[in-house]
């Protein structure tokens, strides 16, 4: 959602991971529309370029940088790219992530557990490590992680690896206030509920519509619903908010059951 009425990110430089698709793409577009210079990072090169081109065609400043966040050398190169091209780094939005195969715990493989953890948890850790080293020098930074309602509730069997990875992101968000606050860096997280993206497209629109019945606001979320929350936590207005996780789920996790 292009937001020309707000310029709160003007002059800021942001990295958005997972920016080729879904929530990451919407976040990159939102931050750029509000004035940020955005480096879009993702493993999907073609889609990455398309997202960056969409932003520049609307007058925003953006470039794409292929990056696998699970590989430290690539993350280091991503941050170095932002610094050499734009001179600083103000915002990191850690959106890249993968869902897991839904194998029950008694047959699940360690390989699959490690694959999910290496991207969702270790990848987020690596991005924060290298971004915060750069932010620390200028004593300013906004880091926004993407966890999930799966970090504190469940709605699917066979989701242990994914839930654990997102629980790790939540725990790391709380912990990092002690590492980073003295450098003026805030660290927060967003916990999306059910959001309509390629990640949730698997079961088709019928499956999403069935989920909508469980959501008090009566619909599944759109990537922009999460992008606006990330853009807020990445802004000056959120200067005194750190170590928090904001749930954006249309009310879903507030409901235990609805009495007849």
Ligand X SMILES: NC(=O)c1ccc[n+]([C@@H]2O[C@H](COP(=O)([O-])OP(=O)(O)OC[C@H]3O[C@@H](n4cnc5c(N)ncnc54)[C@H](O)[C@@H]3O)[C@@H](O)[C@H]2O)c1
16 is a site residue for ligand X (CB under 6 A): no
Q: How far apart are CA 127 and CA 108, in angstroms?
A: 28
> 218 near 231, Cβ under 8 Å?
no
Q: Please, what is the end-to-end C-alpha distance for the chain in angstroms?
A: 38
> 48 near 25, Cβ under 8 Å?
no
CA 213 distance to own-chain centroid: 25
Helix (H, G, I), strand (E, B) or coil at 19: coil
Cα distances (angstroms) measured from residue 118 to each of 65, 113, 128, 147, 166: 20, 9, 14, 15, 12
> 38 near 31, Cβ under 8 Å?
yes
Considering beta carbons, is residue 185 or 215 the nearer one to ligand X?
Answer: 215
- For ligand X, the binding residues in 167-206 under the rule CB under 6 A are 192, 194-195, 197-200
Cα distances (angstroms) measured from residue 169 to each of 128, 175, 234, 247: 11, 10, 17, 14
CB of 34 to ligand X, least distance (A): 19
DSSP assigned state of 118: I
| Contact pick of 146, 176, 230, 245 for ligand X (by CB under 6 A) | 146
Considering beta carbons, is residue 97 or 168 the nearer one to ligand X?
Answer: 97
Q: Which stretch binds ligand X (CB under 6 A): 54-62, 96-104, 126-134, 177-185?
A: 96-104
Catalytic residue numbers, as ranges: 162
| Contact pick of 18, 60, 64, 250 for ligand X (by CB under 6 A) | 18
Considering beta carbons, is residue 89 or 150 the nearer one to ligand X?
Answer: 150
CB of 27 to ligand X, least distance (A): 9
CB of 54 to ligand X, least distance (A): 14
Question: Per-residue string for binding with ligand X, 65-84, x by CB under 6 A?
Answer: --xxxx--------------
- For ligand X, the binding residues in 32-61 under the rule CB under 6 A are 42-44
CB of 115 to ligand X, least distance (A): 10
The residues of the shown chain that bind ligand X, judged by CB under 6 A, are: 17-18, 20-24, 42-44, 67-70, 95-98, 119, 123, 146, 148, 192, 194-195, 197-200
């Amino acid at each position: 959602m292009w937001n020309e009425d707000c310029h709160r990110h003007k002059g800021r430089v942001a990295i958005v991971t997972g920016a080729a698709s879904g929530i990451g793409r919407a976040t990159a577009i939102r931050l750029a529309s509000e004035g940020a210079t955005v480096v879009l990072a993702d493993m999907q090169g073609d889609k990455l370029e398309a997202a960056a081109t969409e932003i520049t065609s609307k007058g925003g400043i953006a470039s794409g940088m292929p990056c696998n966040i699970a590989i430290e050398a690539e993350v280091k190169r991503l941050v170095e790219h932002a610094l050499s091209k734009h001179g600083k780094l103000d915002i990191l939005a850690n959106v890249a992530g993968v869902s897991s195969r839904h194998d029950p715990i008694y047959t699940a493989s360690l390989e699959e557990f490690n694959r999910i953890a290496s991207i969702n948890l270790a990848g987020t850790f690596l991005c924060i490590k290298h971004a915060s080293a750069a932010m620390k020098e200028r004593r300013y930074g906004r880091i926004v992680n993407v966890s999930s309602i799966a970090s504190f509730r469940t709605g699917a069997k066979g989701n242990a690896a994914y839930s654990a990875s997102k629980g790790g992101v939540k725990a790391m968000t709380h912990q990092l206030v002690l590492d980073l606050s003295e450098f003026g860096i805030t660290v927060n997280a967003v916990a999306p509920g059910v959001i309509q993206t390629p990640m949730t497209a698997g079961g088709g629109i019928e499956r999403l519509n069935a989920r909508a019945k469980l959501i008090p606001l009566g619909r599944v979320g759109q990537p922009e619903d999460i992008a606006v929350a990330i853009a807020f936590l990445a802004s000056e207005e959120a200067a005194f908010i750190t170590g928090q996780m904001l749930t954006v789920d249309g009310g879903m996790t507030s409901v235990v059951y609805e009495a007849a």
